[in-house]
Structure 1
Amino acid sequence: MGTSPDPPASADQLAAELFGAMAYGELSAFGRLSFDSRYAPTLHDRSVLAKIAVGAYGNFALLSDRLSEMGIDPEEAMLPFQRSFDHFHERTKPGDWLESVMKAYVIDTVSSDFYRAVAGFLDAGTQQFVERVASPDQATEVLRVLLRRALADDPRLASRLALWGRRLVGEALTQAQRVGMEHPRVGPTLKNGGDARAAVRKLTGELAERHARRMTELGLTA
């Protein structure tokens, strides 16, 4: 006799996988931003990045608490994402302070777009919670201001930061595709009765378009 197919994942299971990915992303951001803040050119800039790191930890705490309320061990929910997220950050180590700021901005905005898009396939309560945690906020605007200030002070930075931004978004979109296709609950969520690969390609195309608009607003070429 053949094995019977796995039963469809429940809404809570789908939400838990999404929250696990988000939680590890926020925990990673906290560690990365805390480290990068040491290389800020001024104490003001250092304090700005440190504050953003604290915000990332706050988001991690919200997600961790939500998972615990669902009866799920936050560590177990995050573990499936640890290797791929860590590998992503190993491949995208910034070379200096401005590259750190650009990386924080690109990852913050692209991941926010991705998580909110995935949550759109889930229940209203999950959507509202993800909107609360993942929506662009004051931290995103602060990073944008830092980049604009640097570009205004030295327009020659534009070509280097544009090139770095293209590399970052390429890696980020590859990461989004991997999360969408490799994880057993997020992938079926995106599939939504259709072809999962096509759905993920469509989503990453939309993410790329949004990124391109943000880069244009900064005066950079995506």
Structure 2
Amino acid sequence: MGTSLDAATSAGQLSAELLGAMAYGELSAFGRLSLDSREAPTLHDRSVLAKIAVGAYGNFALLSDRLWEIGVDPEHAMLPFQRSFDHFHERTKPGDWFESVMKAYVIDTVSSDFYRAVSMFLDSTTQHFVERVASPDQATEVLRVLLNRALADDPRLASRLALWGRRLVGEALTQAQRVGVEHPVLGPALKNTPDARAAVKTLTAELAAKHARRMTGLGLTA
């Protein structure tokens, strides 16, 4: 009885931590993309990034509602992640529009992979919810198209964006490791083992491999 209760408590904590991390990530994305849209070279591109920002806020609202449903104050769930997420974005400020689009693409895809990997150890309802929010969607494809177009228009961007992409994914994977280790409910759950550091190391290797395939698809080296 006690073991079942402990397991249920742990699962509930994992759900709250994961949803809290996702919620703050989406709220941050909304603010970041709204600002980045102002640097767009055309009004069309500006409207495209603004629309993606609105989608991020929509995801934030969905996550907040879900947290209330499971009895967790969204602000309390997000606060433990605020400092590290904000520091990450301070360290990875884009230099121009093209770097902004690359950052949005890399962060969107890598974080989605991370959240879905963690959700596999949750109850089916939460797992399906995370899959719905974190799965690649139209925004991901739009960002990929923007990058492909930019690279086709100016092939000289390839080396710079490849280098920027490598820096971003390095920072993103370090962030994923930090989240897994600093939030002990998340780390061990990844591989159902008490060794959080080993679990997170394995996951980050998987995330890096997926990122490399996406960069190859763009004609860039990861």
TM-score normalized with structure 1 length: 0.95
Deviation at 1:76, TM superposition (A): 0.3
Alignment of 1:85-96 (within 5 A): 85-96=85-96
- 1:76 correspondence with 2:76: yes
Q: Residue 43 of structure 1 corresponds to which residue in structure 2?
A: 43
Deviations 1:96-133 (A, max 9, x none): 00000000000000000000000011111111000000
Unaligned 5+ segments in structure 1 are 1-6
- Write the letter of the residue equivalent to 1:20: G
Matches of 2:127 and 2:47, distance apart in 1: 32
Aligned length: 216
Deviation at 1:198, TM superposition (A): 1.3
Deviation at 1:191, TM superposition (A): 4.8
Q: Residue 197 of structure 1 corresponds to which residue in structure 2?
A: 197
Deviation at 1:85, TM superposition (A): 0.1
Q: Residue 59 of structure 1 corresponds to which residue in structure 2?
A: 59
Q: Residue 28 of structure 2 corresponds to which residue in structure 1?
A: 28
Alignment of 1:74-153 (within 5 A): 74-153=74-153
Deviation at 1:12, TM superposition (A): 1.8
Q: Residue 167 of structure 2 corresponds to which residue in structure 1?
A: 167
Q: Is the 8 A contact 2:193 2:199 kept in 1?
A: no
Deviation at 1:42, TM superposition (A): 0.3
- Write the letter of the residue equivalent to 2:127: Q
120-129 vs 131-140, which deviates more?
120-129
Matches of 1:126 and 1:203, distance apart in 2: 20
83-92 vs 182-191, which deviates more?
182-191
Matches of 1:216 and 1:71, distance apart in 2: 43
- 1:212 correspondence with 2:212: yes
Deviations 1:51-77 (A, max 9, x none): 000000000000000001111100000
Q: Structure 1 vs Structure 2: percent identity of aligned residues?
A: 86
- Write the letter of the residue equivalent to 2:19: F
- Write the letter of the residue equivalent to 1:89: H
- Write the letter of the residue equivalent to 1:203: L
Query: CA-atom RMSD, angstroms?
Result: 1.0
- Write the letter of the residue equivalent to 2:72: I
Matches of 1:219 and 1:191, distance apart in 2: 33
Unaligned 5+ segments in structure 2 are 1-5
Q: Residue 4 of structure 1 corresponds to which residue in structure 2?
A: none
Matches of 2:181 and 2:200, distance apart in 1: 8
Q: Residue 176 of structure 1 corresponds to which residue in structure 2?
A: 176
Deviation at 1:194, TM superposition (A): 4.5
Q: Residue 16 of structure 1 corresponds to which residue in structure 2?
A: 16
**SS of residue in 2 equivalent to 1:162:** helix
Deviation at 1:23, TM superposition (A): 0.1
Matches of 1:32 and 1:192, distance apart in 2: 34
Matches of 2:160 and 2:99, distance apart in 1: 9
